[in-house]
């Protein structure tokens, strides 16, 4: 039986990867960051919380990382933990660099010292391409990161490559384009849309405020993307792979489709708000997954329209259950109203 250690196990990808690996017969350990309020709802939602072992780890603390490697003694490490919200990285650029960038080095050093035969997966991102004009983007496309988050991830990408070449560690980068699900965090635009549409449909809210309707992304389905992570570590040699759908859709399209599924006219409820715009926007992100298809045998299955429907239907179901007084693992009722959260974008507007 193989053993896997997943950093950032409480996130969307971490939870889906736990479910996937357990079905493959793995013994699974997961690291999480201690918070005053535990954030295990995704693991509970998938009914896997009681099937794994959890280890508290902070990526700025080398000792806790070494302890996690020692306790788990894994065959494979899936490094998913990060400060992963682009907007927050503009507000907290230094800590984003320490956690998302340097944290990867600490983890790789722990592997090098403890057991260099551990296979390592690093969660890279399509945000690396940033303002690049080439479309679609593949493994040979140049990187032009357009946020502190993307810049930290660029460091993470190259340090993973350095340890692969310099220390002969099996270390692969997965350049994953946007991948969504009903377990996506509410700070991300897709879940913000599906959640708001459900609340508007049920007359809990009246409007949805969006920063930029014209931003375009390559959106896939998260459970399919964690399979690609696993496939990368089953190869004979480590390598880097783009995981995407090779389709691009705008935020406007996502909004239109989400409201259509709920039987509503989006123009009656959507308001533009400059405070939700990024200080620096990326170009059109569309990933070419040809290499993954040829070498991993992987390709996406869920289409854009189906993805939007999955998310809207699930948020509608959950809000109806909440209105009925039912208890279940969920994040939305505890999420603060965005209008009360002060951000750096408000300062920029005044400059």
335 is catalytic: no
The closest of 53, 80, 331 to 182, measured between CA atoms, is 331
The 3-state secondary structure of 60-113, one letter per residue: CCHHHHHHHHHHHCCCEEEECCCCCCHHHHHHCHHHHHHHHHHHHHHHHHHHHH
What count of other Cβ atoms lies within 10 Å of the Cβ of residue 335?
Answer: 14
| Catalytic member of 26, 78, 127, 215 | 127
CB proximity list for 172: less than 8 A, separation 6 or greater: 119, 120, 121, 122, 160, 164, 232, 233, 235, 238, 239, 240, 241
- Residue 162, classified by CB atoms within 10 Å of its CB into exposed (0-12), middle (13-18) or buried (19+), is middle
190 is catalytic: no
| Catalytic member of 125, 141, 160, 282 | 125
| Catalytic member of 16, 78, 121, 149 | 149
203 is catalytic: no
Bridge-based pairing state of the strands 3-7 and 179-180: unpaired
The phi and psi torsions of 241 (rounded to 5 degrees) equal -135, 135
Q: Which residues are catalytically annotated? A: 125, 127, 149
């Amino acid at each position: 039986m193989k053993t896997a250690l997943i950093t950032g196990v409480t996130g969307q990808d971490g939870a889906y990867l736990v479910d996937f690996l357990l079905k493959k017969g793995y013994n699974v350990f997961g690291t999480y960051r201690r918070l005053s309020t535990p954030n295990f709802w995704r693991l509970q939602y998938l009914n896997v919380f009681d099937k794994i072992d959890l280890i508290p780890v902070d990526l700025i603390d080398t000792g806790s990382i070494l302890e996690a490697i020692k306790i788990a003694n894994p065959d494979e490490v899936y490094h998913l933990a990060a400060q992963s919200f682009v907007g927050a990285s503009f507000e907290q650029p230094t800590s984003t660099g320490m956690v998302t960038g340097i944290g990867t080095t600490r983890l790789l050093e722990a592997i090098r010292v403890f057991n260099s035969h551990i296979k390592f997966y690093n969660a890279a991102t399509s945000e690396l391409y940033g303002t690049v004009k080439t479309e679609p983007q593949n493994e040979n496309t140049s990187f032009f990161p357009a946020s502190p988050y993307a810049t930290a991830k660029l460091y993470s990408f190259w340090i993973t490559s350095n340890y692969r070449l310099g220390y002969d560690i099996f270390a692969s980068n997965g350049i994953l384009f946007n991948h969504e699900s009903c377990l996506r965090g509410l700070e991300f635009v897709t879940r913000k849309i599906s959640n708001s549409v459900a609340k508007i449909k049920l007359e809990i809210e009246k409007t949805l405020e969006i920063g930029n309707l014209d931003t375009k992304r390559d959106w896939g389905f998260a459970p399919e993307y964690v399979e690609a992570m696993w496939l990368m570590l089953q190869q004979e040699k480590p390598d880097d792979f783009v995981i995407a759908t090779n389709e691009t859709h705008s935020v406007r399209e996502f909004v239109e489709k989400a409201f259509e599924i709920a039987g509503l006219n989006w123009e009656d409820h959507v308001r533009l708000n400059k405070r939700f715009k990024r200080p620096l926007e990326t170009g059109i992100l569309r990933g070419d997954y040809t290499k993954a298809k040829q070498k991993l045998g992987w390709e996406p299955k869920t289409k854009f329209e189906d993805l939007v429907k999955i998310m809207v239907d699930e948020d509608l179901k959950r809000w109806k259950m909440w209105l009925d007084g039912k208890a279940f693992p969920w994040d939305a009722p505890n999420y603060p109203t965005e209008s009360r959260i002060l951000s750096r974008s408000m300062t920029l507007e005044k400059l």
